[in-house]
Amino acid sequence: MSTKTKQQTQKEIINKTLNMAKDMGLNDVDVIISGSESFSLKADSGELSEYKKANTGALGVRVIKDQKVGLSFTEDLGDDAIKTILENAAQNSKFSKVDEYQLIEEGTQVDDINPVANIEYSPDANEMIEKALFLEEEVKKRDSNCESAPYNGMAEGISNFAIGNSKGVLCTHQSKSYTAYTSALVKKGDKNAMHYLFDSKRDFRELDYDKVINGSLEVANNFIDASQIKTGDYDVTFEVDLFDNIISSFMLLFSAKAAIDKSNPWREKLGEMVADSRLTFKDDPFFKAGHSVCPFDGEGKKKQTNTLLENGKLVQFLHNSATARELGLENNFCATRGAKSPLSATTSNFLIEAGTNTQDEFNSRRYVEILTAQGLHSGIKPISGEFSLGVSGRIWNNGEIETYFKDVTVSGNFFKMLSEIDLISDKVEASSDHSLFTPKILFSNLMIAGS
């Protein structure tokens, strides 16, 4: 007897839900099933401190009736629970505002189990346990000043997403990834410093343990004796994961919904220059190295690669069908919706195109590289563009590290920063989670308050 795949089961549940909705007189409905399977391990003092398996999932419905939207969800996939959330969503819609822009529309049908995102090889539990213990032990073994590795571990994650609607959409998606991480708490006399790194890969066998171990030790050791640098204006680059977090804090700039709500500072700037003419930003759901590769969006429509910023000019916002309809613009298929969340829009893999500046050109300069920052939430103002962050990092001079520093504050305006750029590297690097792909960018004259 053949065993049903998860995708077959999801589609059966979706079709069952849609049939129940039809019997209830609900003709404009979409159904989303989202879930995840995770296996995580942590080590402490040479022993496992966590061995955790989790399997979560939910089914959510969106009902549109009389131009009003109602949502409801359940984690119970039984018939009674599904009938209840359909009734609840229909009832909730009665109390919603009229929304003439949200519609249930035709889309695509696809089962997406991309082999690149679902490597067949899977380690057994013992292999992952061995690596978790290694990450904690090895970071201490490689440096006598390393007192402990407070944060360390291994994780496997499998995510599933399925959508269907009353207009014929029926899509499923699955992806898998692995993460290795560790930290180094280094002590010298009465001084201490800690640094943390992680690596994420689709293939367990490609995880870079040396990167996270040696990188954590190198930065922690150098931060111990670091002090403040002098107050002044500096040319600055950001470590790629930190730059990813900063850009994410300003994604409001590309939000069509924020433009509609008049909270997007660039809402009136479509077609205008908003950044350095060497900057081009793209959202690419098919980028093979990315970890967010999926052929359909949260409405079950075929995705496409979108250029958001081209040679410094704002080209378009991130749209779902509703925001595109409201603004009278073309949909660019960036819709997202979870089982428990309303319709929105987001990026997949965010790409900044390479520039023309070589490493030799960077090596000829003296500049600051910021490695860590505190206060990313409280210190960033997305609407005004202002930011003020407590940071630590290092100064590069003629291709060599001149000094490390800590406990200083960098401040500036993100919008202005995008227009005041000195160098853009001709090579692109990935963030650790493979969501951002960017060249190293040298921003001019950022203010650093130190000694």
pLDDT tens by residue, 240-251: 999 999 999 999
The residue among 408, 378, 380, 379 whose CA lies nearest residue 393 is: 408
pLDDT of residue 2: 53
Chain segment 279-317, per-residue pLDDT in tens: 999 999 999 999 999 999 999 999 999 999 999 999 999
Cα separation, 67 vs 94, whole angstroms:
10
Residue 109 in this model has a pLDDT that exceeds 90: yes
How large is the average pLDDT for residues 403-414?
97
Residues 6+ apart with CB under 8 A from 53: 37, 38, 39
Residue 1 in this model has a pLDDT that exceeds 70: no
Q: Give strand ranges (E) for 398-435.
A: 400-413, 421-430
Chain segment 139-178, per-residue pLDDT in tens: 999 999 999 999 999 999 999 999 999 999 999 999 999 9
DSSP states of 172-213: EEEEEEEEEEEEEEEEETTEEEEEEEEEEESSGGG--HHHHH
Chain segment 29-65, per-residue pLDDT in tens: 999 999 999 999 999 999 999 999 999 999 999 999 9
C-alpha separations of 251 from 72, 181, 354, 423, 429 in Å:
28, 27, 20, 23, 20
pLDDT of residue 375: 84
Chain segment 195-227, per-residue pLDDT in tens: 999 999 999 999 999 999 999 999 999 999 999
The answer to whether 61 and 31 are in contact (CB under 8 A) is yes
Give SS3 for 83.
helix
The model carries a pTM of: 0.95
Residue 370 in this model has a pLDDT that exceeds 50: yes
pLDDT band of residue 3 (cuts 50, 70, 90) is low
Question: Would you tell me the crossing angle of helices 125-141 and 209-224 to the nearest 10 degrees?
Answer: 30
C-alpha separations of 125 from 39, 132, 152, 209, 264 in Å:
9, 11, 17, 18, 47
The answer to whether 420 and 210 are in contact (CB under 8 A) is no
Residue 103 in this model has a pLDDT that exceeds 80: yes
C-alpha separations of 19 from 78, 149, 157, 170, 272 in Å:
14, 53, 32, 14, 48
Chain segment 330-348, per-residue pLDDT in tens: 999 999 999 999 999 999 9
How large is the average pLDDT for residues 21-33?
98
Instruction: Indicate the average pLDDT of the chain.
Output: 96
Cα separation, 158 vs 86, whole angstroms:
28
pLDDT of residue 377: 84
The residue among 418, 412, 417 whose CA lies nearest residue 386 is: 412
Quick one: CA torsion of 320, 413, 269, 319, rounded to 10 degrees? Answer: 0
How large is the average pLDDT for residues 396-418?
97
Ranges 1-10, 397-406, 436-445: which has the least confidence: 1-10
What percent of the chain has a predicted confidence (pLDDT) above 90?
Answer: 97
Residues 6+ apart with CB under 8 A from 116: 202, 288, 293
